Structure 1
Amino acid sequence: MSSPFERTISLIGDFNYKKIQDSSVIVFGIGGVGSYSAESLVRAGLGSITLVDYDIIDITNINRQVHATTKTIGLPKVKVMKDRLLEINPNLNIRIYEEKVSLDNIDIFQIDKYNYIIDAIDMVSSKICLIEKAKMLGVNIISSMGAGNKLDPTRFRVDDIFNTKVCPLAKIIRHELKKRNIDNLKVVYSDEIPLKVNLGDNDKRKAIPGSISYVPPVVGMIITAEVIKDIINS
């Protein structure tokens, strides 16, 4: 009988596939970046995954988040994503947390038990909390920088946070990490200058980063590729 992962095994071999199958990843932030990264990891054969997000699906998520449809509006992102991933692989070991990451709850996630951490969180305070804990425990982590207000997916790349430029979020994170004496962090970022559209002085949309269907998924896929590469090379 054919396996859902037959083509993956043909590409990387049984030994490397077993490495992926035996690995566990925790994904923080199940939005435009995190939802696609989580799904592509499972489609690559990851055996164990944990999803963390406190938010529910909103109609405005439909343009860029894999779990967002007219039928899932109002439902918790992690619960919808769990059901979707189990439809892809019913044997998947999956755990979910409906939580917002903070100093008060970071220990409940037991991040030292995972082979890899994916940070796809939007909130700066939560990102810093997670990154600092991961660095303290010596756990592999890759962090997504800003995917909003960008149109060119080819400008995203993997690099160290201290080599980044242009990205406003990366600048903030660099500053916060320096204050904590953290001198390295693997990130995915874009050097595209963020787009600015004149919506008028009183338009409330000015405070919300714009997005389009194809950019956050590309960031998520780049993250997955880096995680899979590191697992295979470990």
Structure 2
Amino acid sequence: MDRSFWVGLAAGAAVGAGLPDMPPVKAPSTAQGNADADFGLDDEVLGEHFTRNVQFFGRPGQERIMGAFVIVVGLGGVGSHAAHLLLRSGVRKLRLIDFDQVSLSSLNRHALATRADVGMPKATCLKEHFKGIVPEAEVDARVAMYSEEAEEELLQGSPDFVLDAIDNIATKVALLAACKRRGIPVLCAAGAGAKADPTKVRIADLSESNVDPLARAVRHRLGRQLGIRGGIPVLLSTEKPRCRLVDIEEVGENPLDYQIVPNFRVRTIPVLGTMPAIFGMAAASYILCQLAQLPFHPEPIFKLVEGQYETQLQRLAERENLVYGNSEGPAVDLDDVIYLVRDVWRGLSAKGSRIVLPGGDKGFQRSLKDLTLTRWDGEHPSTVDNLVLLTFQEAEAHECSNLKDVKQTDPESFDRVMSARRRIHADLGILDKV
């Protein structure tokens, strides 16, 4: 069977893909319309190569991916696997950044390196292997360490996404802060070392990252030094480390042999090679879905007990009666309340800080004692798409205002609620009225 059949199948897949409408996300700046003429689905080979992606994302989604520019900083186990799958999935332009070299001990977790590559810079190694996988892609390999001084040089070119796969706290903080300041979407990869359970890998907001030591340290520094306490997705494992850090001296090796940068690597952590690979695959999946404008919504990490949901339903019924004179009760049941509190609002106020509220287990078992559900639009009933989670004080103020005032005085919260309503409509199949 000739290639034209498969190219035709790829081109036609978007028509029957039937993908649901999703909340709008920022389109890649380099992905307007079709991808570059030399890197598009009309090319016979590329059209066949990305057939399965077109069937999954639809042609427009795959073209966004193929027009995107992604930077991966840190090319060890996590970064190499992520970059590898971003390439195989059609990202047109990749910038690969790492100062380190391939070592024998890194071969248990690196995506493509072989023994012949030992001693080669990791960035150069990946670029060489990538030539045989998608030779049409533009791969910019930078043998460099990310730093504040190198920010302009390494982040130039209006990237559509950045993956932080660095294992050094100070460098991670500098990169994440730069991405926030520049408005570049970024995913932070936490520690995959000393872990083994793939079912514990999650994506959470930075404000929920206490369970991972590396992410916890990064959050602490970002919050203390720069006031950034949330709004950055973090890829992490909720599994407790199975083994401790190992001093290089304990295995009889000279630590200076491992310090390409002074004081950068003094201790090592045992790593099961499968976990960095899983982290890398998860990171690539998240980034691809974001680029294609088909994002997924990770399950929240925090836990709430059923009694807390029942309390929320009771509070809502009381507000309906006292504030709106509705003695028949809200137009939602307990399952709707669970969905709203846990999945939509994630136990956080829709108008207040996105920081985890006080609770047990270092914030992972949230306290809802100061929160209540209430109507977003007081002129419409308390349906599932017209309820927001607010503090009591915020609820009282909101119930005395109108949406036009809210839109003018608090546009950030207004946009957040409108986005959440679109998500609810998509999740529940409600005709979009927003």
Is 2:224 the partner of 1:224? no
Q: Which amino acid aligns with 1:81?
A: L
Does 2:229 correspond to 1:183?
A: yes
Q: Residues 232, 103 of structure 1: CA spacing in aligned structure 2 closer, same or farther, 3 A cutoff?
A: same
Partner of 1:125: 170
Highest CA radius of gyration, 1 or 2?
Answer: 2
Which residue of structure 2 aligns with residue 211 of structure 1? 271
Aligned in 2, Cα 1:226/1:198: closer, same or farther, shift over 3 Å?
Answer: closer
Deviations 1:111-152 (A, max 9, x none): 461000000011111111111111111110001001111111
Instruction: Verify the 8 A CA contact 2:65 2:291 in the aligned structure 1.
Output: yes
Structure 2 length-normalised TM: 0.52
Change (3 A) 1:128 1:176: same
Question: 2:81 matched to 1:21?
Answer: no
1:141 aligns with 2:186: yes
Aligned partners of 1:61, 1:30: CA distance in 2, in Å? 11
Task: Write the distance in 2 (CA, Å) between the matches of 1:121 and 1:197.
Answer: 19
Letter in 2 for 1:43: R
Identical positions, percent: 27
Shift of 1:68: 2.4
1:167 to 209, 212, 217: 212
SS at match of 2:163: strand
Distance 1:224 1:212, change over 3 A: same
What are the residue-to-residue correspondences of 1:93-108 with 2, within 5 Å? 93-108=138-153
- Determine if contact 1:112/1:137 at 8 Å carries over to the other structure: no
1:163–1:198 Cα change, 3 Å: closer
| C-alpha separation in 2, matches of 1:171 and 1:204 | 28
2:211 aligns to what SS in structure 1? coil
Letter aligned with residue 59 of structure 1: L
What does residue range 59-138 of structure 1 map to in structure 2 within 5 Å?
59-111=104-156, 113-138=158-183
Provide closer, same or farther for how the CA distance between residues 178 and 89 of structure 1 changes in structure 2, counting only shifts above 3 A.
Answer: same
Contact 1:111–1:134 (8 Å) recurs in 2: no
User: Contact between 1:156 and 1:188, CA under 8 Å: does it hold in 2?
Assistant: yes
Match for 1:40: what amino acid? L
For residues 136 and 157 of structure 2, what CA distance do their matches in structure 1 show?
23
Please give the secondary structure, in 2, of the residue aligned with 1:224. helix
Contact 1:67–1:77 under 8 Å retained in 2: no
Structure with larger RCO (C-alpha < 8 A, sep 6+): 1
State how many pairs are aligned.
234
SS for the counterpart of 1:233 is coil
* Cα deviation, residue 196, structure 1: 2.1
Unaligned runs of 5+ in 2: 7-47, 253-265, 295-434
Does the alignment pair 1:195 with 2:242? yes
Distance 1:215 1:4 in 2: 27
After TM superposition, give the deviation of residue 55 of structure 1 in Å. 0.6
The 3 A distance-change label for structure 1 pair 75 and 158 is same
Equivalence for 2:293: 233
**Greater mean alpha carbon deviation, residues 7-16 or residues 19-28:** 7-16
| C-alpha separation in 1, matches of 2:239 and 2:204 | 15
Is contact 2:146–2:154 with CA below 8 Å preserved after alignment? no
Q: CA deviation at 1:198?
A: 10
Distance in 1 between residues matched to 2:288 and 2:190, nearest whole Å: 19
CA offset at residue 11 of structure 1?
Answer: 2.1
- What's the TM-score once normalised by structure 1's chain length? 0.94
Counterpart position of 1:32:
77
Structure 1 range deviating more: 204-213 or 129-138:
204-213
Root-mean-square deviation (CA), in Å?
A: 2.1
In the TM superposition, residue 228 of structure 1 has moved relative to its aligned partner by 0.9
Output the CA distance in 1 between the equivalents of 2:202 and 2:246: 30
Equivalent residue for 2:87, pick from 42, 53, 56: 42
Amino acid at match of 1:10: Q
Aligned partner letter, 1:208: T
Q: Which residue in 1 is equivalent to 2:351?
A: none
Regions of 4+ moved over 4 Å: 197-200
1:134-171 CA distance string (max 9 Å, x none): 11111100010011111112211111011123211111
